[in-house]
Structure 1
């Protein structure tokens, strides 16, 4: 049962990170800022997501 729960949580986490990347790509931030945010989300998923939620581009 632990593998199924871990897999489900991993899938949910993947969906959240993909959602964040899509939101960054659609934001009004400049091209370089978008690339840096997306790289941060891909390289540091947990920390990148938290930082993006706090300081990321709004809109």
Structure 2
């Protein structure tokens, strides 16, 4: 009943946007936790990545996933 009401109100797009919003929030939290738990070559990079995540909301997590790996230290123990 509720789902058909939402679809009649044009809610198909609303459900899609809600799902993308939830996926984006999960990605953002994953990147933030990964930044906080990681060691970086330069100690200031942790702060820089957090600032990028906070102020570049749309593309911040994507930029971190694409470029953040190269700024981390590798600990093989």
Q: TM-score, normalised by structure 1?
A: 0.77
Aligned residues: 58
State yes or no: 1:45 paired with 2:57. yes
The structure carrying a bigger helix percent of its residues is 1
- Name stretches of at least 5 consecutive residues in structure 1 with no aligned partner: none
Q: Which has the larger radius of gyration?
A: 2
- The CA deviation string for residues 1-50 of structure 1, in whole angstroms up to 9 with x for no partner, is 211211111011011011001001100022x3112101101211332223
* Aligned counterpart for 2:25 among listed residues 3, 14, 22: 14
Unaligned ranges ≥5, structure 2: 1-11
* RCO higher in structure (CA 8 A, sep ≥6): 1
Distance 2:18 2:54 in 1: 19
Please give the alpha-carbon distance, in whole angstroms, between the structure 2 residues aligned to 1:46 and 1:23: 18
How high is the TM-score relative to the length of structure 2?
Answer: 0.63
Tell me which residue corresponds to 1:25.
36
